[in-house]
């Protein structure tokens, strides 16, 4: 898994992005048996299996580098949010067919997402954007992709299901050249304001919320 990009944000959040080149057998050799392989057994698509394994290999590296601790595995809670076994540092992962990215912070919740710019975002925009956001984004694919990734990253930071992207997550107006966005998520019993870092890798948008 060759390192493609690495960054430590001003919030002391560590981001690693890897190019996914390995096959399943190679990834299995890099991953300890500590992880919940029961979930892997339910995945039948070969590419999805590679992504699952690669995400955990990357988290293992983050833990060893940033938490200075032995990696003991990564599981998911009842909402599907990943957490580390034996280490209190919050984490988040995302993967595509070409890349896998992960973030780790010593104490603050984080969320990350990565999406390729695609025309389908025009068709689905009204499902995840409020009316003002639809007006601001228009049919500009870059803006739509930034909106989607930013909202998904904030959703992952919150770590709870049943939160409406359209009605409960808002992103302040931005330009396509923006590298930091401001977002707000309103849940049943709390409101979260987050800074969302935007990075581009070819035609992929990467969003990190903290």
Alpha helices in the chain (DSSP H): 24-30, 37-41, 46-62, 120-128, 131-137, 141-158, 165-168
pLDDT level of residue 38 (50, 70, 90 thresholds): confident
179-209 pLDDT per residue, tens: 999 999 999 889 999 999 999 999 999 999 9
CA distances to 42, 61, 86, 154, 205 from 113, in Å: 23, 19, 25, 9, 8
Among 108, 136, 154, which residue terminates a domain? 108
Give the domain extent around 189: 113-209
Residues 117 and 104 in one domain: no
Among 108, 134, 149, which residue terminates a domain? 108
Alpha carbon 202 to chain centroid, angstroms: 17
Residues 8 and 101 in one domain: yes
| Domain at 126, CATH number | 3.90.470
Residues 128 and 94 in one domain: no
pTM: 0.93
Residues 90 and 126 in one domain: no
Residues 84 and 50 in one domain: yes
| Domain at 35, CATH number | 3.90.470.20
Residues 52 and 69 in one domain: yes
Q: How far apart are CA 7 and CA 46, in angstroms?
A: 30
pLDDT level of residue 36 (50, 70, 90 thresholds): low
Among 108, 142, 172, which residue terminates a domain? 108
Residues 84 and 158 in one domain: no
Residues 104 and 117 in one domain: no
Residues 151 and 180 in one domain: yes
154-166 pLDDT per residue, tens: 999 999 988 999 9
The mean per-residue pLDDT over the stretch 24-29 comes to 89
Number of domains in the chain: 2
């Amino acid at each position: 898994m060759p390192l493609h990009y690495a960054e430590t944000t001003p919030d002391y959040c560590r981001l690693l992005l890897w190019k996914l080149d390995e096959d399943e057998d190679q990834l299995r050799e890099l991953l300890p048996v500590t992880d919940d392989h029961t979930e892997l057994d339910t995945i039948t698509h070969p590419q999805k299996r590679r992504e699952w394994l690669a995400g955990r290999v990357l988290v293992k590296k983050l833990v060893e580098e940033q938490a200075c601790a032995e990696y003991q595995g990564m599981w998911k809670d009842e909402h599907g949010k990943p957490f580390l076994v034996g280490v209190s540092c919050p984490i988040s992962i995302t993967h595509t067919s070409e890349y896998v990215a992960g973030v780790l912070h010593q104490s603050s919740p984080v969320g990350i997402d990565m999406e390729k710019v695609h025309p389908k975002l025009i068709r689905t925009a009204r499902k995840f954007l409020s009316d003002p956001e639809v007006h601001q984004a228009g049919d500009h694919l870059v803006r739509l992709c930034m909106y989607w990734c930013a909202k998904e990253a904030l959703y992952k930071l919150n770590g709870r299901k049943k939160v409406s992207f359209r009605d409960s997550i808002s992103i302040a107006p931005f330009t396509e050249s923006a590298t930091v966005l401001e977002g707000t998520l309103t849940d049943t019993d709390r409101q979260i304001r987050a800074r969302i870092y935007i990075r581009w890798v070819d035609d992929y948008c990467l969003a990190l919320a903290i």
